[in-house]
Every structure is written in C-alpha cells, then in structure tokens.
Amino acid sequence: MANSAAAQAPREAMEFDVVIVGAGPAGLAASIRLKQLAAESERDLSVVVLEKGSEVGAHILSGAVIDPIGLNRLVPDWKEKGAPVVTPVREDKFLVLGEAGAMRLPNILMPPLMNNHGNYIGSLGALCSWFGEQASDLGVEVYPGFAAAEVLYDDNGAVVGVATGDMGVGRDGKPTDNFVRGMELRGKYTLIAEGARGSLTKQLIKKFALEKADNPQKYGIGLKELWQVAPDKHQPGLVQHSFGWPLGNRTGGGSFLYHYGDNLVSVGFVVHLNYQNPYLSPYDEFQRFKTHPAISPTFDGGKRIAYGARALTEGGWQSIPDLIFPGGALLGCGAGFMNVPRIKGSHNAILSGIAAGEATFEAISAGREHDRLEAYEDAVRTDDIARDLKRVRNVKPLWSRFGTIAGIMLGGIDMWLNTILPGIGLGFTLKHRKPDWATLRMARKSKPIAYPKPDGVLTFDKLTNVSFSGTNHEENQPVHLKLADPMIPVTVNLPDYAEPARLYCPAAVYEIVTDEGGKPRFQINAQNCVHCKTCDIKDPSQNITWVCPEGGGGPNYSGM
C-alpha cells in the first residue's frame, strides 16, 4: 500500500538552463560548447546530461575511424589534453569479396572523400568517457545510470524537460520495496542526443511531425567484435573495408576492419535494414564473413575480447527530419547525420552538438526560453554537416535500387561528379521511398538460409558472444520491449515472415518456443538486450516499441 502511494507521489523537479539527453559525442559536445561559451562571457549556466548507460561510454558502439574536424573545433588542444584517439590512419584498403577470392580496388578509383588519411582510429566509447571528464571539469552535471523516460510539455505544448524513469518497479508493473520515484529535470531548452532511433526522439518526431513523408529515415544494423590479435598480424593504422560476400547482390552492407592501439582489431559488419529475405540473420552473416580466406588469417592466434551491436542511420541528407521544436532540438544520429559511404557519423554528431550549444547559448543570453532554436537548424542545413552529407546523398538510394555492384559503381560516379563539380553531382536527389520495416518479402516467397555452425574459435554462437557485451538488466522490472498486440508475433509475423525477430536481433532476445500443448509462443528474453534498437526499426508489423529499461541496465561496453 505504502509502495503504491510512493508510485503516485509527485516527482521532485530540478531546474537547469539546459537539459541534455544522451552522453554520446553529440550530447557531450553540446554540453562542453555551452560551458565554454558561458565561461567566455563569465555567466552562470547550468547544464545537465543524462545517460542511460551505467557509465559514460558503456552504451557507445562504433567503428571507429574518427574524422577529427569536430574534435579540432571543440577542443583544439585535444592531443595535449590526452584524448584517447591515438592511432593515425596509415593505409586504406577496399576489397570486393567473392565466395573464395577477393579483389582489391585501386585507391586511385576511390573518390577523395573516401580517403582516411588525416583521420584516427580509436574507441568512440573511450573518447566519450574523455569528453565526459572534460564536461565535468567545466561544471556540467553528467549523470550516468539515469534514463530519460518521458518528455515533459507545458500547457502550450512546448518541451520543458524530461523525467527519469521510476526505479524498483516489478515485472508486474507494481512498485517493489526498492521503489524510487523518477525525477523531473526541467530546462529552458532540452537537447535530445539519443543516437540512432532514440526512444524519446521517436515520440518527438511523431508529435511534431518532423519526419519527411517521402524520405523516411533508413537504417543499418552494425555488429562488432573487438579482437586482440597476434602481434605479427597487427598493422597499426590499417583501415580495411569490404563489400560483397557473404551478402548477395540485393542485400546492402559490408565490413570494416580497423587496426589500432595495443594489438587491437575492431572488426564489424553492417547490414542495411532494407533487406528482403526474412530468413537473413545479420549476426550469422557477420560470423560467416570472418571465415573468408582474405579475412580469417588476421584472427589466427588472437582472441575476441568484446562484442556488441547498434543500429546506425543511413537515410542521409534527404531523411534529416526538421530538427527543432518548441523548447528543444534533435542532435547527432538521432537526427541522422551519418555519412553512409564514409561509415562515419561521430564527426557530424560533434559538429551538431557544437551548433546546438551555440544556438542555445545565444537564445538563453537573449532571455529566451522554450521556443524554436532556428539558428541551430540553419547552421546544420548550411555548414559543414550539409557539405558532408549533400555530396553523398544519392549513394544509398542508388545501392538500394541497383544492388551492390551497379549501385556502388553509380554511387562512385556520383561522388566523383560531386568532387569535380561541387554541389552539382548528378543534379538531383533520389528518394528513399519505403521505410525498412516494409521491405521484407513473405517467407513462402523467400529462400531459407543455412548458416554454418560456429567453431568457438573464430566464429561464436550468439549467446556466448552476448556475454562479451557485458549486458545486464535488473530481472524484476517490466519488459522494455513493448508489444502493441502480444498475438501478432505468432498470428502474423510467424506465418507471414517466419518471425524475423529471432534472426535480426543480435542478442537472442526473441524466441519462438513451443508450449506444452504444442502451440508456438513468442518469448522475450529482455535481459539479453544490447539496446541496438533493430527490433523497433525492422519489425514488419511495427508492433515492437523499445522503451528505456531502468537506468544503468544494458550493455557494459568497454573500449567499443
């Protein structure tokens, strides 16, 4: 009874100038820029950053080859200050893989924007931890372990902050003895920097009709393992990308392999989520990729030390939603600033954080609050982010329309034209048409795929790999994968699409089990979830909504 009363109690509220959701590169860059500007003009400015991971960086998964344009602008003396971005790129390699062979594309054929010289290889998670320290040193209040679960609005419909989720709610939805009511964090402006397919971002996009109807956001799923390889296999500074096998020509995606640090190799595989065959398993494609004769020798004598997965945005320039709404803005990959052919988004995430920080500071300095940050939207649409994304805007739609071989060739021509005739290129912008959840073919029209069994040395089963993500959730809490209709997985998705969640989920969260009566049942092992958001994107019935579990739950990535 006492617990129920606690659950009804009003939440405590804290007031800030700026509330930021997400301690990724975008959110932290915004917080740092705000505090830098406040220090320069000697004024007080309170800034808070909420992060759902147990610590800053715990939910960050990236390649990562980092274009330092944003870092240089935000913290020009980042080298002196010890930013953990230490391995300069020395060599770029592009491979086209067939089942048994590989062909290296001459670097001279690649458009200059694909060249990685001047970039650095490192862990984006480690960089975010470092950003978190810089932000705290400047007086930003950074709170890891707190998920923003709800957007707060005023009577006029403007966003006035967020509320953290209640802690200690049982699986049955009732408060337990550990119940703690969530907090309201109210601000003059609220910056949402949740990364790809943010849960609050999704609500805001819907409420303020921010998405472009004819260019829905597109996504990929990126799976990654971190390996410590034998010293004689390590080539510090090597950046290798491939496309082709094991994916067929109609399925977009490819691999990355980055050598850096102390004999570390970051190996990953991206599958575009507009794939059509419901039997496709991105995880198993990744495992199969590692067995290619041009790839596997790198891992001889090495060991996999971490695993994880995360969705990335792929819609590019034409899918960027309206970025502002009364009281706040969308930043980073939540808005979709990823450059797909470059497989880079962290530089634009940082640049968007800087732009949002500057626009917000200007507005607050002018005595404004809870209105639209037009200066932020203008900056993104005219400055470096626009230049970076506009010139590659047709690459992804060409790939989707013409398949890997022809699509990449046409995309290459478009990128070259954009290099020779800046701002002109093909002269038009192709649309994305369908959202990714609408691209699956029916199972009866699709071919099942037989994947090889993992060997436990180079390739691993999903559950073993999930244990290398460090993911952990309080078991006694409501399931954070919400089904609008609990019957749809069995009555629609299973007969029509062989329930693809079993295969696209990289963490074995979804299973079809057979009840004692012989009936199929959809089982959700929510504790395995690595917060990649793929189910929220790809479920063909759009029946799954990912919401934040208790703060601190989820993967515990280190150095990802």
Ligand X SMILES: Cc1cc2nc3c(=O)[nH]c(=O)nc-3n(C[C@H](O)[C@H](O)[C@H](O)COP(=O)(O)OP(=O)(O)OC[C@H]3O[C@@H](n4cnc5c(N)ncnc54)[C@H](O)[C@@H]3O)c2cc1C
Provide the mask over 207-226, with x wherever binding to ligand X is found by CB under 6 A and - wherever it is not: ---------------x-x--
How far is residue 439's CA from residue 437's CA, in Å, rounded to a whole number? 6
User: Of 490-519, which residues contact ligand SF4 (CB under 6 A)?
Assistant: 505-507, 509
For 534, the 3-state DSSP assignment is helix
Helix axes 374-382, 346-365, angle to 10 degrees: 150
Applying CB under 6 A, does 530 fall inside the site for ligand SF4? yes
Q: Binding residues for ligand SF4, how many (CB under 6 A)?
A: 13
Q: Least distance (Å) from ligand X to the CB of residue 28?
A: 8
Minimum CB separation of residue 281 from ligand SF4 in Å reads 12
Q: Which residues pair with 15 in a beta bridge?
A: 186
Within 311-330, the residues that bind ligand X by CB under 6 A are 312
Looking at the Cβ atoms of 61 and 158, the one nearer to ligand SF4 is 61
If the CB atoms of residues 302 and 549 are measured against ligand SF4, the closer one turns out to be: 549
The verdict on 272 binding ligand X (CB under 6 A) reads no
Other CB atoms within a 10 A radius of the CB of residue 158 amount to 18
CA distances from 406 to 194, 198, 432, 554 (A): 34, 33, 17, 39
Q: In angstroms, give the least distance from the CB of 177 to ligand SF4.
A: 28
What is the three-class DSSP state of 244?
A: strand
Q: Contact, 125 vs 61, CB < 8 A? A: yes
CB of 510 to ligand SF4, least distance (A): 7
Terminal C-alpha separation, the chain: 44
Rg (CA), the chain: 23
Matching residue, tokens 């740092």: 32
User: In degrees, to the nearest 5, what angle opens at C-alpha 532 toward C-alphas 113 and 65?
Assistant: 25
199 near ligand X (CB under 6 A): yes
Query: Residue 194 interacts with ligand X (CB under 6 A)?
Result: yes
The smaller minimum CB distance to ligand X, of residues 124 and 443, is found at 124
- Binding ligand X (rule: CB under 6 A), the pick from 70, 244, 268, 282 is 268
Instruction: For the CB of residue 512, give the shortest distance to ligand X in the complex, in Å.
Output: 27
Q: Does 559 bind ligand X (CB under 6 A)?
A: no
Question: Which of 111, 198, 407, 549: binder of ligand X (CB under 6 A)?
Answer: 198
Q: Which does 216 bind (CB under 5 to 8 A by kind): ligand X, ligand SF4, none?
A: none
Please, what is the minimum distance in Å from the beta carbon of residue 524 to ligand X?
20
Which two three-digit tokens encode residue 409?
């060739």
Measured CA distances, 357 to 56, 360, 377, 436, 499 (Å): 19, 5, 12, 32, 43
SS3 109: helix
Residues 6+ apart with CB under 8 A from 4: 174, 175
From the list ligand X, ligand SF4, none, partner contacted by residue 205 (C-beta under 5 to 8 A by kind): none
Q: How far is the CB of 492 from ligand SF4 (least distance, A)?
A: 18
Q: Return the number of the residue (54 or 240) whose C-beta is nearest ligand SF4.
A: 54
Distance CA 321, CA 191 (A): 15
Strand duo 175-180 + 183-192: pairing: unpaired
By CB atoms closer than 10 A (0-12, 13-18, 19+), residue 426 is middle
Helix then strand count (H, E) for the chain reads 16, 24
Query: Which residue in 548, 550, 557, 560 binds ligand X (CB under 6 A)?
Result: 548
Rule CB under 6 A: say whether 529 interacts with ligand SF4.
yes
- 158 neighbors 371 (Cβ within 8 angstroms): yes
Q: Is 432 in the site for ligand X (CB under 6 A)?
A: no
Query: With respect to ligand X, which residue has the nearer C-beta, 349 or 488?
Result: 349
Token readout for 82 is 């010890």
Q: How far is the CB of 475 from ligand SF4 (least distance, A)?
A: 15
Nearer to ligand X, 22 or 411 (CB): 22
* Residue 349 contacts ligand X per CB under 6 A: yes
Applying CB under 6 A, among 277, 287, 346, 459 the residue interacting with ligand X is 346
Counting contacts by CB under 6 A, is residue 505 touching ligand X?
no
Output 146 or 510, the one with its CB closest to ligand X: 146
Out of 240, 465, 534, 556, the only residue in the binding site for ligand SF4 (CB under 6 A) is: 534
Q: Which of 243, 460, 522, 546 forms a contact with ligand SF4 (CB under 6 A)?
A: 546
Number of CB atoms found within 10 A of residue 143's CB = 15
Token pair of 75 as six digits? 């913290």
Count CA within 13 A, CB hemisphere, residue 534.
Answer: 31
Distance (Å, whole) CA 14 – CA 6: 19
Q: Which residues bind ligand SF4 (CB under 6 A)?
A: 481, 505-507, 509, 529-535, 546
Q: Which residues bind ligand X (CB under 6 A)?
A: 21-27, 50-53, 59-66, 124, 147-148, 193-195, 198-200, 222, 224, 268, 310, 312, 332-334, 338, 343-347, 349, 548
